[in-house]
């Protein structure tokens, strides 16, 4: 898919148990992105891998920095990647 890029985002803070994965999934689906979101071990971070147009991914990143109402985002790590094209939708991994 021409113009498609990927990003891995790790969000740190009070981001587990506050519907962060559901929030992320809804945002990504509305933006037409593919990939996944999952909690990371330790209880204080969430990993997001998403593919799509760069402008849409930047929009998602801005939404992740704000988070849902009960989340407290302390730090966001962003790593741009080449897309692998293996995602057909956006999912929540458990």
Phi-psi region of 2 (alpha: psi -120 to 50; beta: other; left: phi over 0): beta
Burial, 55: exposed, middle or buried (Cβ in 10 Å; 0-12, 13-18, 19+)?
Answer: exposed
Active site residues: 21, 39
């Amino acid at each position: 898919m021409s113009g498609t890029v990927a990003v891995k985002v790790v969000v740190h803070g009070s981001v587990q148990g506050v519907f962060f994965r559901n929030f992320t999934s809804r945002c990504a689906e509305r933006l037409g992105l593919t990939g996944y979101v999952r909690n990371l071990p330790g209880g204080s971070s969430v990993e997001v891998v998403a593919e799509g147009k760069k402008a849409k991914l930047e929009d998602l990143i801005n939404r992740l920095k704000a988070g849902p109402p009960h989340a407290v985002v302390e730090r966001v790590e962003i790593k741009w990647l080449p897309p692998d094209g293996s995602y057909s939708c956006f999912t929540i991994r458990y």
